[in-house]
Structure 1
Amino acid sequence: METGENRHKACIDAEPITSTTRVRAREGSAHMSKADERLKSWGDFMRAVHEAKRGNYRSAREIVERVRARSGDAAVAMQRRELWRVIQAGKAK
């Protein structure tokens, strides 16, 4: 068991947690927490929506292909509908 002094020294020697260490941990770790995974997925989704509203559909296509690889064609259809619905939101009909 560590004494209080040794535990404190280990905390001082550790790399401080910053946004870049969180990103590095997120990208390099195969075991992302569910909350981090959802946050990253939502960020990717919204980034794809914003880019698609500007005419760049590349990110949206990448998301669709990831869904196809992970979940199959039925999930792809749902993902496409959801992306398109959010992309079209706020536009005049």
Structure 2
Amino acid sequence: MAVEPYRSTPVFDEISLPAALRAHHATKAGVWGMVRILEGRVRLTYVKPPCKTVLDPATPGLIRPGQPHFVTPLGPMRMRVDFYDQPPDG
């Protein structure tokens, strides 16, 4: 049975993406995030451990509880973040 998010952000584009998501931040304890790209590409930077990856519609980005990270649009894009209280599928 697929795990469903308990909350999702609105859909953001490269202009409406909040400064808080572009800056170093982390999910709360017990909260997993999944960055889902609807159009375009976004660079997801994990602060600890340091790692950068490019996300696109076929490649979502998993955020573990408390994992410091930030996102950077790579041109025009649309994305949202889904939040889970257990590890999500995919």
**TM-score between both structures, scaled by the size of structure 1:** 0.24
Larger relative contact order (CA 8 Å, sep ≥ 6): 2
Higher strand share: 2
Structure label with greater radius of gyration: 1
Bigger fraction of residues in helix: 1
